[in-house]
Structure 1
């Protein structure tokens, strides 16, 4: 089979080889290429070219060595579906710390916890005006210019901007619905002295999170309606406390990584807000669950679980990762 230069753009060459390697059928691959404007004869020739290329054949052989792992994950996914898991992310109220750890932390299952933030002063106090009054003069870091870069999340270093907290709050108040600027965990603003008055309004969920609450034990997320955290997974367990506004969350299990079209290690090619199942068909097999997380609710995100988040209102969240477990939080090591 000839290995002459492809007539496809590089991104479509990558897409074609990846999807054929993942088991997408030849006809389905041709139809997708044709749907993207590739002539039928070119689509047929390119699929044949890919299948006959020695690099693709080597890729197939390598993939077969790991096929057993995907078989295990598929079997577990089937059991997950048979167990009656539906698309609604489970919400629990009055859950004890013991039950949380037994059924969710160690059970590796997400959950929304209700009724555990009643002692938070932040719930009754936080508003944009209150935040400005208490800490407006503090210098903070914000991710800006996100709309111009689809890869803003994995390329965070390109988007760091310093400003006063008061100026940022004015942007949030007046800018309407947008994904162009957002204060995220990577900004590490809790560790800046100027925001210390706000940390006084936060409490550790009793029996679940280390009550020490040093600044490096928390992160702050704050932004306008319309901010989107693209589909990705974290390498540790996270507990997100929703203080202001609502967030729409979609999640997929860690054991369905082979359906997520991963990139940059922890991110996905899939836009979980409007997934393109023509381009990413395997994502359609994922056991996606979703919920709207309300103020006063805690979202447990198990290590490795894929999640996409969109703010429905001006939103402020605090995340924790120092769980009260022997040996500390569970971490997923990065591949070598």
Structure 2
């Protein structure tokens, strides 16, 4: 474990304990003082990379009320110096392949760039990122990704299936819109485009089409603008949409993979098999780019079925192991086994003791990202005014008063008006999720506005959205395991009590 740094508000061990207990997004301040990575401006990175080509994703800035998935974007291979010239709009300068894309109409994003590959000939760069100070011994830039974007660059709203994220903002600011796992039904999940480790939302969360997605009114947005030097913790299964708000932004992301329940592995294998089978079949409406660029390629049906069988066998073996441990377990210890972020077993006595003795130390160095307001018609235009914690670049200690949202008076007035019109606020601090009262859009329409439903042709994608709906995949997974393991996944034969189920996408 890294040596304690007395200048940091939390030691590596304390940070690990905090991460084990956090149940919502939070921002760490004053934890990255002295990290060389904070000098990674786009200009500095351009000097380091020289003539090396980097792949950029480009998207139009127009509001379309539909998400701009990676499959709908344009791509160019360019030098960082080309990106800088294009972003500065310098007339007569060499902008390389960006010349086809007017800066007034497009944003550009070099995203998901693995630092281990990008700087494979400069391994000393890995040491500029010090995740060991967060309690991850030996972890640095080698296990991280680099993101460089222009103003407006964004990633579509999605959740990560297998782990959680630590995001260091290096240069410029990024705004994060986060939604809790309980809001999954309100975000209309889809598996097209397909990516094994992610589930996307069909909703453009900044400009939602509430006629198509009325349940999005119930979504509870947690928004924060991340400043240079700050680290955002994004819990597993939290939805997030990210946008660059400054002319150039640079950030580093470390994805911490958690041990995944075998039932979740089976459900993912089933999903992959169904999606690949239907989308690989030639038909008139199967001409879209359905595989996300981050996926390695289309596996054959035989390969996918082997993956399903491997996942089912692993689940059966795990159930047998759990059954054996149940027979030798202390009868007083009746709760299911839980594991920490490193996969180590945590006993019930550990959990009880930790819960009784530890509370997350929110304050000037750790800020919870709370529910700001609902994405209702009244507040949709002001959702970009959010929690914007003062920059910790200078690593000066801050008072609790500095940890509040910095919004202008007009925003406060609009939010107060929305609340007074029946939009209830979510609790501050450790948000207690409860149903918020919303008026249905349809109920606000008069009878004169009623439109007869129009029958449209059902497409392959429509069929897939239903077939791989979380509830359907969950049921199919249980049926498979009942047939091939001798019982449903939540019941261990001869062991009695049910086992916990993960959210299955």
Give me the TM-score of the superposition, normalised by structure 1: 0.60
1:153 Cα deviation after fit: 3.0
Corresponding residue SS for 2:110: coil
1:167-219 per-residue CA deviation (whole Å, 9 max, x = no partner) reads 2333334375765321111x43641335656444322251333433363x110
- Aligned length in residues: 236
How do residues 1-336 of structure 1 correspond to structure 2 at under 5 angstroms? 94-98=9-13, 100-123=15-38, 125-145=39-59, 152-155=68-71, 159-174=74-89, 180-185=107-112, 187-188=113-114, 190-192=116-118, 193=120, 196=123, 198-204=125-131, 206-213=133-140, 215=142, 217-235=143-161, 236-264=163-191, 266-313=199-246, 314-322=248-256, 325-327=341-343, 335=505
**Distance (Å, rounded) in 2 between the aligned partners of 1:178 and 1:317:** 23
The DSSP-based 3-state class of the residue aligned with 1:180 is strand
Task: Measure, in 1, the Cα distance between the counterparts of 2:82 and 2:242.
Answer: 25
Change (3 A) 1:179 1:120: farther
Q: What SS does the aligned partner of 1:282 have?
A: helix
Please, which moves more after superposition, 175-184 or 286-295?
Answer: 175-184
- Alpha-carbon contact 1:226-1:312 (below 8 Å) kept: yes
In structure 1, C-alpha distance between the alignment counterparts of 2:106 and 2:50, rounded to whole Å = 22
Task: Say if 1:333 and 1:179 are closer, same or farther in 2 by CA, change over 3 A.
Answer: farther
Alpha carbons 2:183, 2:219 under 8 Å: kept: yes
Counterparts of 1:208 and 1:178, CA distance in 2:
43
Alignment CA distance shift 1:103-1:320 (3 Å): same
- Partners of 2:82 and 2:124 lie apart in 1 by 18
How much has 1:137 moved relative to structure 2? 2.0
Unaligned runs of 5+ in 2: 1-7, 90-101, 193-198, 258-339, 345-501
Please give the alpha-carbon distance, in whole angstroms, between the structure 2 residues aligned to 1:319 and 1:310: 15
- Which structure's residues are more often helix, by fraction? 1
Q: CA deviation at 1:232?
A: 1.1
Q: Which runs of 5+ in 1 are unaligned?
A: 1-92
Cα deviation code 1:53-80 (max 9, x no counterpart): xxxxxxxxxxxxxxxxxxxxxxxxxxxx
Instruction: Decide whether aligned partners of structure 1 residues 291 and 207 sit closer, same or farther in structure 2, where only a CA change above 3 A counts.
Output: closer
Is the CA contact 1:243–1:295 (under 8 Å) kept in the aligned structure 2?
A: yes
Preserved CA contact (<8 Å) 2:127 2:141: no
Change (3 A) 1:281 1:205: farther
Give the C-alpha shift of residue 290 in structure 1. Answer: 0.9
Once residues 316 and 182 of structure 1 are traced to their aligned partners in structure 2, the CA distance between those partners, rounded to angstroms, is 10
CA distance in 1, matches of 2:122, 2:214: 45
**When the two structures are superposed, what TM-score results if normalisation uses the length of structure 2?**
0.41
